[in-house]
Chain A
Amino acid sequence: MVKQRVESVVEGKIRCDACPVLCYIAEGRSGACDRYANEGGTLVRLDPFTILEQSDQAVPFLDGSDWDGGIAKGGQVFVTAIGAGTTYPDYKPAPFIVGQTYDDVDMVTVVTEGIFSYCGAKVKIDTDRYIGPERAEVRVDGEAIGHVMTGEYGSQMLSLGGVHHLTGGSKKEGRVTCDALLKLCNRQAVTVKVDEGAEVVLQAGAPPVVDGVREERMRVGCGSATIGMFAKQWVDHVDEVVVVDDHITGVLSEHQAGKLLDVKPTGIKVRGRKSTPGRYFQVANPGTGWGGTDITDPLSILAPFKPKDAWAGMRMLMVSTTGEQWGYFVLDAALEPVAAELPDALRLSVERIEENCEPSVVSVLFMGGAGGSLRAGVTENPVGLTRSVKDALTHVSCGGAPCYIWPGGGITVMADVLDMPENAFGYVPTPALVAPIEFTMRRADYAALGGYMDAVRPLDEVLGEAERREAAAAGARWPMDGGNFRGNL
């Protein structure tokens, strides 16, 4: 947030001089207007108008994927809609229509904060833990704010918010939903309870906490899948492998992958309920031990080896599905497993399992639709904007962050809140979220879609009103990048 000039400080209270009332504001409180506040002795505007600065660091060196081979365009700025305000429900031009030159092309960016009654968040939670049945309500403070969608690979999906929760239910449901969405989109933590399921702490970019347990890593697969992936790397170095997992524990010598590679039977007996050969459910209770179970001693899930199949000198690897825990054992003359030093070839495979288990994070995608009145702030003929976006003549961004635009009618966007500057969202008591949205296009294309050409202001003039400057997210494509537009620039 941007500091405002403070003229007078009395006993930690600061005097706001934004308007003639000249409120004294105590630490942590806001003034009579609720727009200016005292944050640690500094006067801050609660909705600072924000611009993005493209620094050299924002273009990653030697990152071939997005780099067009040109010289980094350091020093470029982009005016975001954060703190720009809105003219809703009006039919007049958006708060800022900015003209600037980029790569010798005259560009226009229309900047507005949209009031989104039709909006929500799609949340991806990297965990295999059961969080609740599909379609179960997701609640905050007892109010339904969304539902469980489905399980994706290694992740659970939630749909939160949406018009039916914001304005279709009780006043309290709408208020609680709006508050939860605002926090999630502004990267704060929200605790949700799933009907007939888990309590989950959600925060964009942070590991999920499921029923009080913080998830560290996604599993590369269940125990059985891990056997399949690594069997070939194991067969020459070990006689038996057990991959311990809360869902399915895998056993190499019994598993289809082991059979195909002619792994000898070892007569191993694993506790739990056998599913298909080499795959066991419920070898232990869920917990924070090996592979999401409550196991701390892996040998506790094995029955004693019998002379019929096992042999002295038999080598056995036990590893959890995340590779975080492992043990290497050699059977002695009495067929007792004795811990031994892990051979290098096996160490490599254990490290690979861990490497392939990516950190668990919660991802929050804001999703909203630009309604007619928002579009009317851009052009006198709102459908012209829709067509221009579909024709890739107009680029849509949220707080400068790239968006996915849904096919079909209207302008329905999704954006990763972690690509946007912090605290980019606000709310109105309707209840609805206030989200930044910018439309960027060539000046000629803006004129063609019926834009408010008289309202276009030069960049330098608008920059004078900026209250907050943020570096663009590293690696994110710059809103004016030629690749965003049909025929490039």
Chain B
Amino acid sequence: MTYERPQANRSGRRLHLSHGPINLILEAAGEAHAVEAAYQRAIAAFDELLEALVVDLPVLRKPLCGAPVSSPVALRMCAAVRGIPVFVTPMAAVAGSVADYVLAAMRGEGLRRVVVNNGGDIALWLGEGEGYRLGISDHVRPGFVGMITLDAACGVATSGWRGRSYSLGIADAVTVLARSAAEADVLATLIANSVDLPDSPLVQREAACALSPDSDLGARLVTVGVSALPDANVTKALDSGVACAQGYIAQGRASGVFLCLQGQTRVAGEAFALE
């Protein structure tokens, strides 16, 4: 059987890596030879990444059970969901873990900053005095609805029912700032799940396995449509999400959470500023 091979394309200052469902945009800054070397390390790390990861997929699609995994990305995925008391599988951390793994491979002498963006789940390493401004826009208004300035190694991830992965909740988007992209990925998934109106007829849901036979969510109902909601319902659903977010912030897992549902936005924690 011959698969498509991983692809690497230089695009100005950036490097684009893609293989199957993974699309990474990398940006390193620093001394020219150091940037070049970092990109070469990224390509080397990416080459076998997906083929190694798929071996572990059967284990990763179930809640943690102690079964061993071997690929480096799978190990990061499992670590990110350890100690979470609600239903979650390591798949909730897949995008962030890929970003973290490639970022780790790229770090080295002579670099000022490295950014690995895996379809919106972003791993960053910022050197002394470096900053990274990240704007959040919703699909309703022009410009940015939220803004955050980052100044250290961290991860940012976004989840919502409109995204490529399925959500148990109705958030348009929940963006989380955490210590790593894997952790941000998991928390964004769980907080987005908790922005919900259980049993509301205004929310359309289908069994995940009917949409995607391989889904780690099995027969759980995932959101496939949300009708226009009365303001009070939006507030109620966001309240539930904010309470969940504050729990993770109190545990020190997240430093900021931004929530968005049908034009209403909320923040939890100190990190995000509303525009």
Choose, from B110-118, B137-145, B151-159, B246-254, the stretch at the interface.
Answer: B137-145
- Most chain B CB neighbours (cut-off 10 Å) among A24, A33, A89: A33
Main secondary structure of the interface of A (DSSP, over half): loop
Task: Give Cα distance in the complex from A95 to B124, angstroms.
Answer: 31
- Is A24 touching B20 in the complex (CB atoms < 8 A)? no
Task: Give Cα distance in the complex from A335 to B142, angstroms.
Answer: 72
Q: Is A187 an interface residue (CB 8 A)?
A: no
Q: Is A453 an interface residue (CB 8 A)?
A: no
Residues of A within 8 A of B57 (CB): 21
Partner of B1, one of A7, A29, A31, A32: A7
Q: Is B229 an interface residue (CB 8 A)?
A: no
Task: Give Cα distance in the complex from A23 to B211, angstroms.
Answer: 12
Answer whether A170 and B12 are a contact pair too, CB < 8 Å, given A29-B211, A33-B21: no
Q: Is B164 an interface residue (CB 8 A)?
A: yes
**Which residues of A from 372 to 417 have beta carbons under 8 Å from B?**
none
Choose, from A12-20, A65-73, A275-283, the stretch at the interface.
Answer: A12-20
Residues of B within 8 A of A309 (CB): none
**Which residues of B from 131 to 189 have beta carbons under 8 Å from A?**
137-142, 164
- Is A170 touching B140 in the complex (CB atoms < 8 A)? yes
Task: Give Cα distance in the complex from A171 to B20, angstroms.
Answer: 29
Answer whether A170 and B141 are a contact pair too, CB < 8 Å, given A13-B213, A22-B54: yes
Beta-carbon contacts of B233-252 to A below 8 Å, as 1s and 0s? 00000000000000000000
Answer whether A26 and B210 are a contact pair too, CB < 8 Å, given A20-B50, A170-B141: yes
- Is A171 touching B142 in the complex (CB atoms < 8 A)? yes
Residues of B within 8 A of A175 (CB): 139
Residues of A within 8 A of B220 (CB): none
Give the distance to chain A from B23, nearest Cβ to Cβ, in Å.
9
- Chain B residue nearest to A11 (CB atoms) is B213
Give the distance to chain A from B119, nearest Cβ to Cβ, in Å.
10
Beta-carbon contacts of A156-188 to B below 8 Å, as 1s and 0s? 000000000000011110010000000000000
Q: Is A196 an interface residue (CB 8 A)?
A: no
Q: Is A90 an interface residue (CB 8 A)?
A: yes
Q: Is B70 an interface residue (CB 8 A)?
A: no
Residues of B within 8 A of A172 (CB): 139-140
Task: Give Cα distance in the complex from A10 to B164, angstroms.
Answer: 24
Task: Give Cα distance in the complex from A10 to B213, angstroms.
Answer: 10
Task: Give Cα distance in the complex from A284 to B20, angstroms.
Answer: 63
- Is B137 touching A171 in the complex (CB atoms < 8 A)? yes
Partner of A29, one of B137, B139, B142, B212: B212
Q: Contact residue range for chain A?
A: 20 to 34
Give the distance to chain A from B77, nearest Cβ to Cβ, in Å.
15
Answer whether A32 and B20 are a contact pair too, CB < 8 Å, given A7-B1, A20-B50: yes
Task: Give Cα distance in the complex from A7 to B1, angstroms.
Answer: 10
Give the distance to chain B from A4, nearest Cβ to Cβ, in Å.
11
Beta-carbon contacts of B199-230 to A below 8 Å, as 1s and 0s? 00000000000111110000000000000000
Residues of B within 8 A of A24 (CB): 212-214
Task: Give Cα distance in the complex from A13 to B164, angstroms.
Answer: 20
- Is B138 touching A171 in the complex (CB atoms < 8 A)? yes
- Is A26 touching B211 in the complex (CB atoms < 8 A)? yes
Residues of A within 8 A of B142 (CB): 169-171
Residues of A within 8 A of B137 (CB): 171
Residues of A within 8 A of B10 (CB): 90, 92
Task: Give Cα distance in the complex from A170 to B263, angstroms.
Answer: 13
Residues of B within 8 A of A20 (CB): 3, 20, 50-51, 54
Residues of B within 8 A of A7 (CB): 1
Residues of A within 8 A of B21 (CB): 19, 21, 31-34
Give the distance to chain A from B204, nearest Cβ to Cβ, in Å.
16
Task: Give Cα distance in the complex from A34 to B212, angstroms.
Answer: 12
Beta-carbon contacts of B95-137 to A below 8 Å, as 1s and 0s? 0000000000000000000000000000000000000000001
Q: Is A91 an interface residue (CB 8 A)?
A: yes
**Which residues of A from 185 to 238 have beta carbons under 8 Å from B?**
none
Residues of A within 8 A of B11 (CB): 87, 89-90
Residues of A within 8 A of B3 (CB): 17-20
- Is B50 touching A19 in the complex (CB atoms < 8 A)? yes
Q: Is B19 an interface residue (CB 8 A)?
A: yes
- Is B1 touching A171 in the complex (CB atoms < 8 A)? no
Give the distance to chain A from B70, nearest Cβ to Cβ, in Å.
15
Give the distance to chain B from A24, nearest Cβ to Cβ, in Å.
4
Known: A10-B213, A31-B21. 6 other contacts (CB 8 A): A19-B19, A26-B210, A32-B164, A32-B212, A33-B21, A170-B142
Q: What residues of chain A have their CB less than 8 Å away from a CB belonging to chain B? A: 7, 10, 13, 17-26, 29, 31-34, 87, 89-92, 169-172, 175
Cβ-closest 7 pairs across A and B: A19-B20, A33-B21, A24-B213, A32-B21, A20-B54, A171-B139, A90-B11
